[in-house]
Amino acid sequence: MKGLCILGATGSIGVSTLDVAARHPHLYKIVALTANSNIDALYELCLAHRPQYAVVVNDSKAREFKDKINNSVIVDITVLSGAKALEQVATLDEVDSVMAAIVGAAGLLPSLAAAKAGKTVLLANKEALVMSGDIFMGAVSSSGAHLLPIDSEHNAIFQCMPADYQTGTDGKQVRRILLTASGGPFRQMPIEKMADVTPEQAVAHPNWDMGKKISVDSATMMNKGLEMIEACLLFNMSPEQIQVVIHPQSVIHSMVDYVDGTVLAQMGNPDMRIPIAHAMAWPERFESGAKPLDIFAVERMDFEEPDLHRFPCLRLAYKAINAGGTMPAILNAANEIAVEAFLERQVKFTDIPVIIERCMDAIAVTAADSLEVILELDRQARTVAKQVIAEMYP
């Protein structure tokens, strides 16, 4: 049996991972579950899956959770608190695989710790790779860790790539990656109306069930921009070799275009249990719980180029990776602050790319050659983003 640690267990990816693991109890043992502050959901998961460790990052909530556990039928569980505890459980000897599903920059340090410890890292946190880039990939290489992508698009690319997918374009005879995107809920909304978009509209994704932050990123297509940067790092490709393709049906999850004209596509229903099960079973396969794709029900598949005027965040992502260094970390941090402000109704939906670009223009890019530099630029970008918002809405 493999020991599994789930970072971000109460989110949609964490819950889906536990669903898949429960279908194969002879293969996976739940060692650790973590949450930021949602102790009620974490308690229910602990009750159902009986992990050895539970981590609540928020200290006051951790004390509440410990009292809740002590007054329950759950026994033999160690409750830990604080961000450092995430790294502790991700590197436990009894953990073989780590599902890195914490949203945003908060997932960087525990995901990187798992990679340095040589674990099999099931990476659902794209921001960790976007921020730390070569440092993260270097940790995977030097420790012998396995890095398996969980985002449906990157998992699709992984399935369509040859075994030596990290050798560079010449070694794998790949011309380009076709990175699909649904286009989100505002693909056809008149652009002049987008300033009036509400948080409720932005989180109502037409195909996928995701958390609020990722849903807003999908609506702005920043999610696709971050995925483009991640794809460059995972598959050793240049930004020019990543073509974003809007595919509203979300049936084809991405494609790989080879030099001989062959295009391989991975297809399936929009159910995150499919890429999760693929990574958990790799290099084998097992049942995920997802419904089989009814190709006759699909009827049609549409494809279109993204409109960068409608989706300026995608343009900013290409700008960030071409600038290199710490610019992707600046992009990510500014986006997190802008999205949070939008969800709290402090700024308009169309302000999000404006805030991000002002931060990118205000902060000088440097070499991302240490974790300390990356974390400092992350902190600086968040401060600047808040200042930009204050100036926009005095």
Which tokens sit at 248? 């509203």
Query: With contact defined as beta carbons under 8 Å apart, do 116 and 138 qualify?
Result: no
CA-to-CA distance for 375 and 378, rounded, in angstroms? 5
Rounded to two decimals, the pTM is 0.92
First to last CA, the chain: 57
- The pLDDT score that the predictor gives to residue 104 is 82
CA distances from 26 to 54, 90, 267, 277, 363 (A): 22, 21, 28, 15, 51
Strands in 28-35's sheet, in edge-to-edge order, are 78-81, 53-56, 28-35, 2-7, 97-100, 120-123, 146-149
Encode pLDDT of 161-216 as tens digits: 988 777 666 778 999 999 999 998 899 999 999 999 999 999 887 666 667 888 99
What is the DSSP secondary-structure string of 229-264? HHHHHHHT--GGGEEEEE-TT--EEEEEEETTS-EE
Handedness of CA 248, 250, 251, 255 (dihedral sign): positive
Encode pLDDT of 349-387 as tens digits: 999 999 999 999 999 999 999 999 999 999 999 999 999
Domains (ranges, CATH) in the chain? 2-149 (3.40.50.720), 156-269 (no CATH), 324-392 (1.10.1740.10)
CA-to-CA distance for 134 and 168, rounded, in angstroms? 15
Average pLDDT, the chain: 94
Encode pLDDT of 97-122 as tens digits: 999 999 888 899 999 999 999 999 99
- Look at the chain and count its residues: 394
Which tokens sit at 240? 């020019």
Which tokens sit at 46? 């602990």
